[in-house]
Amino acid sequence: METSRPSCAMFLLLAFFLAIFAQGLQAKINFREKEKQILDQILGPGRYDARIRPSGINGTDDAPTLVRVNLFLRSISKIDDYKMEYSVQLTFREQWLDERLKFNNQGGRLKYLTLTEANRVWMPDLFFSNEKEGHFHNIIMPNVYIRIFPNGNVLYSIRISLTLSCPMNLKLYPLDKQTCSLRMASYGWTTDDLVFLWKEGDPVQVVKNLHLPRFTLEKFLTDYCNSKTNTGEYSCLKVDLLFKREFSYYLIQIYIPCCMLVIVSWVSFWLDQGAVPARVSLGVTTLLTMATQSSGINASLPPVSYTKAIDVWTGVCLTFVFGALLEFALVNYASRSDMHRENMKKSRREMEAAASLDAASDLLDTDSNATFAMMRQCEIHLNPPRKNCCLLWMSKFPTRSKRIDVISRITFPLVFALFNLAYWSTYLFRDEDEEK
């Protein structure tokens, strides 16, 4: 009898806990059943028509339905300069009040109802006006939900990927900033029936670790862009994304190689003027390499009707390389002229030497005045007029071809340095108003 009492107490305690668990399970089943009943009550046949838009402010039918929008930018995969477009993945949310969907929250136990079928309730006819391509995400399940709150508020959330057009001004490429917009508008409802508003507070959020290979997102601005057409005025929202191009990539891939090619073309100024094969090969090789570099740069850009900053740089660098090749042609021509002139001088000196022998015999018969005049002439030749420092320095190089090389060694680097000063001061310190 004593051993049966503890076992009986344990049995009663276990039965008590099982009863409590069964009651809680039954309550949960009844609660889920209550959700089903509420959904059937507010969305049942003949009770709710998804074709009719909700009432406006204070339940008036004359006022437009207000839809508040907010975005969460998950990623920006690419910004294509050639096609002038960019791809973005975002979570798009809309929220509006539909008083027909009010329900009893069961004493605060039922916070909201969740739907996965958008066609069960009225939806705003929003579309992305600058969209080129877009798709929903359906892995593993469709990334979309609709929450209905007890007061009739409806929250619609969906994850989508879009490819959007982004008209670009490439005049300052690659030292430019680009503004790409995301525009959302109503397709069929005019502002008399539907108005889109940005959600108060923080309507656009961007993921913290957003990384772009050749751009930096500096800032973003939200604004309204209502449009008027022949059929009425339509509500429109837009967010402007300001991207700054990362210059370090272009400095390493374009500007430094072009500078090196220009400097290499100047090596021919230091080669002997008689080394024709070496100088021609160097000039032609640098010219072809520079032309290939320019064509490769333009292949990744759209054919626009204006001159870009990169066009100015590559054009001037190509001109310097071509000028170095033309300089050798001028040197070669001057070298042949110097050789011809040297032969003429040699023949003239031989003729003057023969003539001086004949004049020496006649000099003894001349009078003293003639002798004095001749001595004066010799003094003039022995004491020529003084030259300035530049002419004195150039006199160290007797041939014109050598002088051309020496002048080019100084002129080409100096002019290229002045060009760099003008180029970088023009494009780096240009005001933002001028960029537009």
> Which CATH number goes with the domain that contains 206?
2.70.170.10
Q: Above 70 in pLDDT, residue 106?
A: yes
Q: Are residues 187 and 92 in the same domain?
A: yes
**Same domain, yes or no, for 227 and 259?**
no
Residues 410/394, Cβ–Cβ less than 8 Å: no
- Tell whether the model's pLDDT for residue 360 goes beyond 90: no
The answer on pLDDT for 64 being more than 60 is: yes
- Residue 347 is assigned to a structural domain of this protein: yes
pTM above 0.85, yes or no: no
Domain contains 24: no
pLDDT at 222 over 70: yes
- Same domain (yes/no): 235, 96: yes
pLDDT the model gives residue 135 = 92
β-partners of residue 165 are 85
181-220 per-position pLDDT tens digit: 999 999 999 999 999 999 998 899 999 888 888 899 999 9
CB atoms inside a 10 Å sphere around CB 32: 10
Whether 98 is covered by a domain: the verdict is: yes
Q: Which residue has the higher pLDDT, 100 or 418?
A: 418
Residue 44 lies in a domain: no
Choosing from 215, 245, 275, the residue where a domain stops is 245
Q: How far is CA 59 from the centre of its chain?
A: 48
Asked whether residue 22 is assigned to any structural domain, the reply reads: no
pLDDT at residue 269 in the model: 86
| Cα distance between residue 178 and residue 198, in whole Å | 23
Radius of gyration for the alpha carbons in the chain, expressed in angstroms and rounded = 44
Q: Which structure tokens are listed for 233?
A: 């005025």
- Mean pLDDT, rounded, for 243-271: 92
Are 215 and 296 members of one domain? no
Same domain, 229 and 301: no
Measuring CA to CA, how many Å separate 80 from each of 4, 57, 84, 85?
A: 83, 43, 5, 5
Tell me, what's the pLDDT at 52?
87
**Residue 135 in tokens:** 């798709």
Look at residue 1 and tell me whether its pLDDT is greater than 60: no
Are 278 and 343 in the same domain?
yes
What six digits make up the tokens of 23?
């009651």
Is the pLDDT at 19 greater than 60? The verdict is: no
pLDDT (tens digit per residue) in 285-309: 999 999 998 898 888 889 888 999 9
pLDDT category at 392 given cuts 50, 70, 90 is low
Least confident of 41-45, 291-295, 388-392: 388-392
CA-wise closest residue to 128 among 156, 167, 161: 161
In this structure, the answer to whether residues 200 and 158 fall within a common structural domain is yes
The confidence score (pLDDT) of residue 27 equals 46
Given a cut of 80, is residue 97 above it in pLDDT? yes
Amino acid 431: pLDDT: 58
The answer as to whether 47 is a domain residue is no
For residue 79, which amino acid is it? Answer: I
216-232 mean pLDDT: 92
132: confidence class by pLDDT, cuts 50, 70, 90: very high
- Is the domain of 286 the same as that of 218? no
Q: Is residue 390 pLDDT above 90, yes or no?
A: no
Stronger pLDDT, 236 or 31, i.e. the higher one = 236
Are 297 and 311 part of one and the same domain? yes
Question: Total domain count for the chain?
Answer: 2
**What's residue 368's pLDDT?**
47
Q: Please tell me the predicted confidence (pLDDT) of residue 29.
A: 47
Within a domain: 21: no
- Where a domain ends, among 198, 215, 245? 245
Same domain flag for 280 and 422: yes
pLDDT score recorded for residue 307 = 92
Asked if residue 28 belongs to a domain, the reply is no
Residues 133 and 239 grouped into a single domain: yes
In which domain, by residue range, is 284 found? 250-435
Nearest to 90 by CA among 132, 137, 155, 147: 137
Question: At 24, phi and psi to the nearest 5?
Answer: -65, -40
Asked whether residue 242 carries a pLDDT value surpassing 90, the answer given is yes
CATH code for the domain of 344? 1.20.58.390
Among candidate residues 197, 225, 245, the one where a domain is terminated = 245
Asked if 82 and 119 sit in the same domain, the reply is yes
Q: Looking at residues 1-24, what average pLDDT do you find?
A: 56
Q: What whole-number distance in Å separates Cα of residue 194 and Cα of residue 189?
A: 6
Tokens linked to 327? 């300089």
**Stretch among 325-329, 402-406, 420-424 having the lowest mean pLDDT:** 402-406
